[in-house]
Amino acid sequence: MHAGLRSGRLRVALAQVSTRIGDIKSNKEKHIEYIERARSEGADLVVFPELSLTGYLLRDVAYEVPQACRNALEEIKQFCREIYAVVGVVWEPRPGIIQNAAAILGEGEIKCVIPKYYLPTYGLFEEARYFMPGDPQRDLRIVGSGLGAFGTLICEDLWHPEPAEALVRLGAELLVCIASSPLRGLNNLVEGRTWIDHAWGSILNATALTHTVHVVFVNRAGPEDEEFFWGGSRVIGPDGVELERCRTMEEDFKTCEVNLSENARARRFSSFRVHLREFHSILSKL
């Protein structure tokens, strides 16, 4: 683990990029460019959006890109010897079975690949038509140890309370959520922001406050087919206070230093230590 992650202080880079659908070569080059930029600015971790290597609205193209994603990761990992990266990919764990996943790169290796658990299939979303969901009992994991540990979630996963809680209970001091959230509510502003920006802000703040943990959110920006992704990536502290934010509606890049020891301080004034497993027992039977 990078020295910054071991010490409890780390600099996180938010790579709010726009990608070309199905163009793995071009997207790979953009990832390398941003990884090098993040490293040059002293970042310990750089985070890209959901399906950043492929584009989001893949449909049947999703079956054609897994090998190209593997090949691209093999090249990108060479640039991750002094920095960690979270990259959105299409992953093929078994022949013909594909997943919407996050690849964790570091120390010149592919450390692990984390699949998405909750696949939205409503409105414009049709992920369950193509992807297999992750299995929490097999796939849930954190990277690192102690104060440097972080867990990764993908978009819809954060709209459900269980994945974040499980990762924090496993020891994650930083939650990383990558997303490809399309623009919604442009004509329904809430306090001057689009409804989707407001909705994500509510979820991110509540997650950080409830679990007294730092939360990193990196969302896609820019157009794809008939959709537009609104960006708005940000970092939230364990007290629910926003530490950094990217612009909306366009590509952006920000770095933010976080002190993970602040999680422990926040927990002095919360009921985080109290965990009634009986509620989960009841939920498992409903």
- For residue 76, give both structure tokens: 């990108």
The CATH number for 109's domain is: 3.60.110.10
pLDDT in tens, 14-57: 999 999 999 999 999 999 999 999 999 999 999 999 999 999 99
- For residue 196, give both structure tokens: 């989707």
The amino acid at 16: Q
How far is the C-alpha of 43 from the C-alpha of 11, rounded, in Å? 5
Angle of CA points 67, 228, 156, to nearest 5°: 65
pLDDT in tens, 53-108: 999 999 999 999 999 999 999 999 999 999 999 999 999 999 999 999 999 999 99
Q: What is the mean pLDDT of the chain?
A: 94
DSSP 230-260: EB--EEE-TTS-EEEEPPBSS-EEEEEEEET
Give the mean model confidence (pLDDT) for residues 124-135.
Answer: 97
Angle of CA points 165, 169, 173, to nearest 5°: 90
Q: Specify the number of domains making up the chain.
A: 1
Strand, coil or helix: 74: helix
Strand, coil or helix: 47: strand
Going by C-alpha positions, the residue among 189, 181, 167, 154 that lies closest to residue 263 is 167
| β-bridge pairing 252-259 and 9-16 | antiparallel
Give the mean model confidence (pLDDT) for residues 199-211.
Answer: 97
- Phi first, then psi, for residue 66 (nearest 5°) are -55, -45
pLDDT in tens, 251-263: 999 999 999 999 9
pLDDT at 8: 82
- For residue 210, give both structure tokens: 């409830």
Class of residue 184 by CB neighbours under 10 A (exposed 0-12, middle 13-18, buried 19+): middle
pLDDT at 145: 47
pTM: 0.96
pLDDT at 17: 98
- For residue 9, give both structure tokens: 């202080």
Range(s) of the domain holding residue 64? 3-283
